[in-house]
């Protein structure tokens, strides 16, 4: 398989506090790759380094073979790196469709006025296709303020897909979801497997083992293991560091 996203000896420190310790991570094209680890392991810091929200102290980030280490987040997004966040970042007054049309316009580099969107019929069609894809059929004219938390998560995923991404960084997409909503999100992400390259940061282990082709484990900022779900389940070091299991049972 072809590596689409890589880090090489990626390191981030704040003074004497090292939050990412020389991480070498590779995402293969088309895989769903989960990143797990205990609280404080450095998962969000690593995602911030990948997306450009943070600049590394040392090391490099590569997207499709291009070094993007010094590019700001908006230029990484233009190159095909899309991200969702733990906390929803939507405009409450916008409808789902309008949010997506604006995202599609931004992808194309158009200048626009918020009040003059009547001529973008093809973009509205694409917005509705994306809403269908994430399970929001018929919700196109609903203001985001009137949507449930689960629907917000679905819309955020649609916004990421609107960027035609090479890689999607999904930061805890199950956060705050109830049991039924979590099951729905798992099925939605399963439907995208193989069609998109996904780095999934998630605490829900049922979701991780249901979705991931490979799993990487962070502990104290260091990558301690990468492998198949079966490999990670049976790895004594991972069980000790992540699950707090001393005897392997």
Question: From first to last of its 249 residues, what are the pLDDT tens digits of the chain?
Answer: 689 999 999 999 998 899 999 999 999 999 999 999 988 899 999 999 999 999 999 999 999 999 999 999 989 999 999 998 765 667 778 999 998 998 888 776 554 444 455 456 788 889 999 999 999 999 999 998 899 999 999 999 999 999 899 999 999 999 889 999 999 999 999 999 999 999 999 989 999 999 999 999 999 999 999 999 999 999 988 888 766 655 443
> pLDDT value at position 87?
59
Residues of each domain in the chain carrying CATH 3.40.50.300: 1-80+165-249
- CA 106/CA 108 separation, integer angstroms: 5
Based on the number of CB atoms within 10 Å of its own CB, is 46 exposed (0-12), middle (13-18) or buried (19 or more)? buried
According to CATH, the topology of domain 1-80+165-249 is Rossmann fold (3.40.50)
Neighbouring-strand partners of residue 212: none
């Amino acid at each position: 398989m072809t590596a689409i996203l890589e880090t090489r000896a990626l390191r981030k420190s704040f003074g004497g506090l090292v939050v990412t310790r020389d991480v070498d991570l590779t995402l293969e094209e088309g895989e769903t790759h989960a990143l797990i680890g205990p609280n404080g392991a450095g998962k969000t810091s690593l995602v911030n380094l990948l997306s450009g929200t943070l600049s590394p102290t040392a090391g490099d980030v590569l997207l499709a073979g291009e070094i993007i280490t010094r590019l700001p987040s908006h230029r990484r997004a233009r190159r095909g790196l899309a991200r969702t966040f733990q906390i929803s970042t939507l405009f409450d007054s916008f409808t789902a469709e309008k949010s997506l049309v604006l995202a599609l316009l931004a992808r194309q580099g158009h200048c626009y006025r918020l009040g003059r969107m009547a001529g973008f019929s093809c973009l509205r069609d694409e917005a509705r296709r994306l809403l269908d894809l994430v399970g929001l059929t018929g919700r196109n004219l609903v203001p985001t303020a009137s949507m449930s938390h689960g629907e917000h998560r679905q819309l955020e995923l649609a916004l990421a897909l609107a960027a035609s991404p090479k890689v999607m960084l999904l930061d805890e997409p199950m956060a705050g979801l109830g049991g039924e909503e979590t099951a729905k999100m798992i099925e939605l992400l399963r439907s995208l497997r193989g069609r998109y390259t996904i780095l999934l940061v998630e605490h829900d282990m049922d979701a991780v083992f249901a979705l991931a082709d490979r799993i990487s484990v962070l502990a104290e900022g260091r990558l301690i293991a990468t492998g198949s779900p079966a490999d990670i389940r049976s790895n004594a070091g991972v069980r000790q560091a992540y699950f707090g299991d001393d005897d392997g049972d």
